[in-house]
Amino acid sequence: MPGANIVTQNDLLIVGPGVLGRLVAKKWLKEHPGCKVYGQTASTDHHSELTDIGIIPSLKGSTISQKAPYVIFCAPPSRSDDYPGDLRVAASNWSGEGSFLFTSSTALYDCSDNRLCNEDAASLAIAIMKKRPRGRIFLGCDNKPLSRQEIMDAVNKSGKFDTEFQGFTGTNGPSGKRMENSKTRADIGWEPQYPSFTEFLGVDS
């Protein structure tokens, strides 16, 4: 790691410091004053931005002289020619002391977004790393599942948009599927900022 002669117990390596990674970095630096946060990227395009928020940037594949006690892998597969290989390299840069966390997004519907906001994802990631679990899978969701129609009914009710949603053109999709993370919440002691999508919109459920 550039300039890292001494590794402290709370130093963090973020592989893929995009939106989620940057939020994790800001929260981690606030909770652990004096620690170092490193960010490995696929290009140098945003290195100045990372430096501005306290991240020490480096390119993916660059030599790392010291292993980090905490590593979080946030890089998307779309930016990699060898995603499993990148993950193995990231794991090799972990000292084995704190936590290694691999992040991945999922959704019930065929879309690129889910209903867990980035701030909640960042707070969950940090809560998991601080617990130092081994070989576990955790799920972040709001535990208040809604159908597509219920989501759009809430959007209309919120009055936040000029155009009102009129209806779907089809009904294809994974009807009946739900996510539930009571075990994650109990084990990690985490709650999302907004308990439900309707509360996020500021409407009654």
pLDDT(106) > 50: yes
Instruction: Read off the pTM.
Output: 0.82
Asked if residue 141 lies in contact with residue 121, where contact means CB atoms within 8 angstroms, the answer is: no
Average pLDDT, the chain: 87
Here the tokens at position 26 are 């800001």
Confidence at 172, pLDDT banded by 50, 70, 90:
low
pLDDT tens string 28-50: 999 999 999 999 999 999 999 99
79 backbone dihedrals φ, ψ, rounded to 5°? -100, 15
What pLDDT does 175 receive?
A: 59
Residues 51, 55, 58, 62: what is their CA dihedral angle, to the nearest 10 degrees? 160
Confidence at 107, pLDDT banded by 50, 70, 90:
low
Residues 105, 122, 153, 179: what is their CA dihedral angle, to the nearest 10 degrees? 50
Parallel/antiparallel/unpaired status of strands 55-59 and 12-15: unpaired
Q: Give burial (CB, 10 Å; 0-12/13-18/19+) of 169.
A: exposed
CATH 3.40.50.720 fits 12-104, yes or no: no
What pLDDT does 174 receive?
A: 55
Confidence at 114, pLDDT banded by 50, 70, 90:
very low
pLDDT tens string 60-105: 877 677 899 999 999 989 888 999 999 999 999 999 999 999 999 8
